Structure 1
């Protein structure tokens, strides 16, 4: 029973469990029963690389450090732009609804509701394309689409045209929500993912939070058209960065040792996918740290929109696979937590104008937008520490567990989400009800909420990546689909809910729901390893993907 996690006796090895630290041991065997000479380590020689890279110089796990870091920088910038374009107009919802001659609820539904619904559909469709053809062509096409739709939205003359632009825009946003965690898993090892996942989350949440202050001032002093043109320019820059610094990460590994996703303690990825070669021990020279004789792909070839990657499973089987992945208790739990983490932030963003444009605050459009600054600062602070804390806690617990890493070691950090976010929602509702001075709800309450959300989302996406590395794209596709469909539903009644129930009752319900849902982390921690075993043994997902 590793540190409170119920063990499993159905499999020799439960996928996700892996030797992470050898604790400076000098004997020849690590506790997982793997010959130490087989395994590749980090530069310190103390941490086993999980997953184990192949010998190919083209394997993303073997990329130079600068290339990986640049890839991550582009992810942060790209996700920031995508996070910003969604709520770009929210500070001006009230005056824009009047400008287009529609009710506030209808404007919210058309401007943001259509975008959110399109993200949900795009998550599934773009995931299917990425699994079949690789992620790079999807990123390139949708980034170009984002730039075009921003310029379109800047020049609309009718509400219907704006809704059309926002719908296509939402579809193009989907890959940067659904595929990025899988790209991080394609590039970084387990002990390095926490920080990079937090950068991904900072991009999304930072974009959401910075869009308001910047766009609010631009809209008030100019117009929403200028803000949309500026956003289009940001996506043009993003397109250039994607072209030059986001090569394909989909890679078929041959001959790499599998110590985390198999039901055996150690397994070698076969040259022929129809047969599986299992080993208990082998000469260290067979899988040494030297690179293979395979030629390194040139930089110019990496710039091609498509590198020829192709998965031969049928399109429709790939499309429905995420719906079967929801049968995994891990994905089911993560979807519930991820939906709660993000959806309430969207709820706040679409009601900010309603709350602060009215008495007693009477904020201008730019002032409404500026309320998000504290959220950005909180997200930034959380990013600087959450990745290190999540990776550090997991590594520390692995050492306490005789060097064996369990994905559930990520979950204790969820206590920060429970404390900060639930407290923030209750305090937000109470302070607005009492009409406290604006620094209390804006700085204190929103700061607490965003601090907790950054910890929570980073923990959730990292845990899913560790448990379902080979199906991470599908896992995040279904998580984003359900999250966005729930958020889409919120746009139908969010403004009316706040008007009818009042701000205190509304956010007390949200705070209570958040606390109750987060408590499901306790059984997930205890039974998570058995859940991973159950998913592997029943092989529901594999049956869906059998070739026709």
Structure 2
């Protein structure tokens, strides 16, 4: 048993389990027990010299894992900016819901539920855009999504009726769907299945064939299954690089639905999908809550409430990743250097505690008419805490299903359909029962979802073994 993760009784190597850290002797030679791991690529930086890179970078100069740090950071920055803009596009009109419902003689609940069709469109269209991205590449699909968002934004500016606004939003939501599924990792493991011993033996055999000296051993690339020339700058700028996958489009299209039979994907759907759905629901009723007495906010004032969400998201983004990495490395070292994907679920405790407090506190402070700073702070804590859930689930799902990560993420984004359904009654629910009871129930469901991480942590390794052995799961993975 590795730190509470139950061992499997069927497979010698369970997919996802990896050697993450080793030991360094006085001669600066790396080893894990009797296994010499010097030939494996290790992380750089202070305190990380014993961390083995998983997956191991290939010899290809075009492998993103071999990119210089500045290029990785630049790509990450551009993706973050694009994703942030897209994420803001969805809820940015919600502060005006109260004014729009009055102008168009609609109830707030009807307007919120009607415009919520956009969330439903995202949930459905992400399957189609994900399949297009897998088959034809992500760059053209992302650019098409940005184009649709631009057209939708112009259309929305000139829309002066509910029907016109709804149509523009639906077009924009199709453009949002490619950003609902961001590969979390490029899999260049080259079939090693994280087997450090097999990889080491293969590498040593190649080194003997090439008569490499011991002094050169730590400077030789690890995977030598192929070599290729570095792509030109003009080639890298091309929008379309041809078909990226030989699978039929319809197979890629239905694969995410089939992956919902995997325990890891189903858990991620409930943990990530339903937890983040609460944020969509809360954002859609901000105008209802803060334009009414005792706050009487203007439309711009309601918009400023989301400043706390922005601050919470930024702090969460900059802290959740490093904390998750620190926890994973600490647990792997205490587990004899062996990493289990379930270690990533530990940080969900932050989402459990702070997320529960934020939902309970948000509803309670609104019920007793606390000064506006109270519910606004709790609103920001919601975004901060859910960031830890996102990091945990994305990392866990990627490690469990590296080869099918895009399809797995598309599957869990069915949560948008749940958000769509919630939008149809959450406003009237608040009116009839009050924000305290509504958000205490939401907080209770949130806590229950987070607690599901405990059995997943304990039984996760056996689930990974099961899904790699049982025929039905193998059929899905090969579909």
Take 2:59 and 2:185, find their aligned partners in 1: how far apart are those partners?
A: 18
Answer whether contact 2:265 2:408 (CA < 8 A) is retained: yes
- SS of the aligned residue for 1:77 comes to helix
Q: How do 1:511-526 residues align onto structure 2 when only pairs under 5 Å count?
A: 511-526=443-458
**8 A contact 1:408–1:525 mirrored in 2:** yes
Q: Distance in 2 between matches of 1:486 and 1:397?
A: 35
Contact 1:38–1:284 (CA<8 Å) still a contact in 2? no
Distance change (3 Å), C-alpha of 1:41 and 1:365:
same
> How many angstroms does 1:405 deviate by?
1.0
How far apart are 1:536 and its partner, in Å?
1.2
Equivalents in 1 of 2:83, 2:348: separation in Å? 23
Shift of 1:390: 0.4
Quote the offset at 1:436 in angstroms: 1.2
Deviation at 1:283, TM superposition (A): 3.4
- 3-state secondary structure, aligned to 2:379: helix
Q: Give the alignment of 1:465-484 within 5 angstroms.
A: 465-481=398-414, 483-484=415-416
Q: Please name the residue that 1:167 is paired with.
A: 170
Q: Provide the rounded CA distance (Å) in 1 between the counterparts of 2:471 and 2:243.
A: 25
Task: State which of 419, 422, 441 in structure 2 corresponds to 1:490.
Answer: 422
Counterpart of 1:455 in structure 2 is 388
Question: How far off its partner does 1:168 sit?
Answer: 1.6
**Partner residue of 2:373?**
439
Residue 379 of structure 1 and its aligned partner are, at CA, apart by: 2.0
Query: Are 2:143 and 1:143 equivalent residues in the alignment?
Result: no
Contact 2:257–2:411 at 8 Å: present in 1 too? Answer: yes
1:56 and 1:98 map into 2 onto residues whose CA distance is 60
CA distance in 2, matches of 1:504, 1:409: 35
**Counterpart-to-counterpart distance in 1, 2:142 and 2:318:** 27
Of 5, 30, 33 in structure 1, the residue corresponding to residue 32 of structure 2 is 30
Pairwise CA distance, 1:496: 0.9
**Aligned residue pairs: how many?**
462
- What is the CA–CA distance in structure 2 between the aligned matches of 1:315 and 1:511, rounded to whole Å? 40
Partner of 2:214: none
Task: Give 1:61 shift.
Answer: 1.3
Quick check: 1:322 aligned with 2:249?
Answer: no
Pick from 75, 82, 103: which aligns with 1:78?
82
Report SS of the residue matched to 2:16.
coil
Instruction: Report SS of the residue matched to 1:402.
Output: coil
Q: 1:309 to 1:58 in 2, by over 3 A?
A: farther
The structural deviation recorded for 1:377 is 1.6
Counterparts of 1:383 and 1:89 in 2: how far apart (Å)? 24
Structure-2-length-normalised TM-score: 0.91
* Residue number in structure 2 paired with 1:427: 361
Going from structure 1 to structure 2, the CA distance change for 1:500 and 1:153 (only over 3 Å counts) comes to: same
Question: How far is the alpha carbon of 1:541 from its aligned partner?
Answer: 4.8
Where does 1:86-101 land on structure 2 (aligned, <5 Å)?
Answer: 86-101=90-105
| Corresponding residue to 2:123 among 120, 125, 143 | 120
Once residues 417 and 63 of structure 1 are traced to their aligned partners in structure 2, the CA distance between those partners, rounded to angstroms, is 33
Alpha carbons of structure 1 residues 285 and 423: separation in structure 2 relative to 1, 3 Å: farther
**Whole-angstrom CA distance in 2 between matches of 1:285 and 1:148:** 60
Task: Describe the shift of the 1:433–1:309 C-alpha distance in structure 2 as closer, same or farther (beyond 3 A).
Answer: same
* Structure 1 residues 480 and 6: CA distance shift in structure 2, 3 A: same
Q: Residue 279 of structure 1: CA displacement?
A: 6.0
Equivalent residues in 2 for 1:233-252, closer than 5 Å:
none
Cα distance in 2 for residues equivalent to 1:431 and 1:36: 56
Q: Please state whether the residue corresponding to 1:319 is helix, strand or coil.
A: helix
Farther off after superposition, 93-102 or 535-544: 535-544
Q: Structure 1: any 5+ residue segments left out of the alignment?
A: 187-250, 269-277
CA distance in 1 between partners of 2:50 and 2:445 (Å): 42
Distance 1:9 1:265 in 2: 20
CA contact (8 A) 1:50 1:259 kept: no
Contact 1:257 1:267 in 2 (8 A): no
In structure 1, what is the Cα distance between the partners aligned to 2:311 and 2:35?
Answer: 45
Matches within 5 A, 1:125-524: 125-178=128-181, 180=182, 182=183, 184-186=184-186, 256=190, 258-260=192-194, 282-284=205-207, 288-289=220-221, 293-443=227-377, 445-481=378-414, 483-524=415-456
Q: 1:102 corresponds to which residue? A: 106
- Report deviation, 1:495: 0.8
The runs of 5 or more residues in structure 2 that have no matched partner are: 210-216
CA contact (8 A) 2:23 2:30 kept: no
Structural RMSD (CA): 2.3
User: Relative to structure 1, is the Cα distance of residues 280 and 532 closer, same or farther in structure 2, using a 3 angstrom cutoff?
Assistant: farther
Partner deviation per Cα, 1:196-228 (whole Å, 9 max, x = no partner): xxxxxxxxxxxxxxxxxxxxxxxxxxxxxxxxx
